[in-house]
Amino acid sequence: MPVCLARDSENYIQRSDIENCQYVALTLQEYNDFWVSYELTPESAGMSIGFGFSIVMGAYFSAYPVKIVKYLINLL
């Protein structure tokens, strides 16, 4: 279970309440669980890059018809 720690007036680190929490101490198991859950794999990196590319290209191609419609309205 995480523990809140803070420095006192003599610069020692002591357990504190949540309002004065400066550091959070974790057990080794909690630390390992945290990093395992955020592990970056080649598959997740590829999916992220593909998603970003599709958003950019989708925005570009959806803006193209708007440009054509604005051009046609200006012709009238």
For the chain, the structural domain boundaries read 3-75
Confidence class for position 43, pLDDT limits 50, 70, 90: very high
For residue 69, give the amino acid letter: V
Contact 13, 6 (CB under 8 A): yes
Say which DSSP state 60 is in.
H
pLDDT of residue 36: 78
The Cβ-side half-sphere exposure at 17, using a 13 Å CA radius, reads 1
Does the predicted TM-score (pTM) go above 0.85?
A: no
Average pLDDT over residues 45-58: 96
**Percentage above 70 pLDDT, the chain:** 100
